[in-house]
Amino acid sequence: MADKEGTYCTICGGMVPDAVKIRRISVDGKEVGIDRLEEILDGVILLGLPEEARVKVELLSRVRAYNYVSSAKEEACGEALLGEYRTRLKMRG
Angle subtended at Cα 76 by Cα 60 and Cα 58, rounded to the nearest 5 degrees: 15
Closest CA to 37 of 76, 4, 84, 86: 84
Q: What is the pLDDT of residue 8?
A: 66
Q: Could you give the CA distance from residue 14 to residue 8 in angstroms, rounded to a whole number? A: 5
Q: What is the pLDDT of residue 1?
A: 43
Q: Could you give the CA distance from residue 25 to residue 6 in angstroms, rounded to a whole number? A: 25
**Average pLDDT of adjacent 10-residue blocks, the chain of 93 residues:** 60 62 93 95 97 98 95 97 97 83
The distance of Cα 5 from the centroid of its chain, to the nearest Å, equals 24
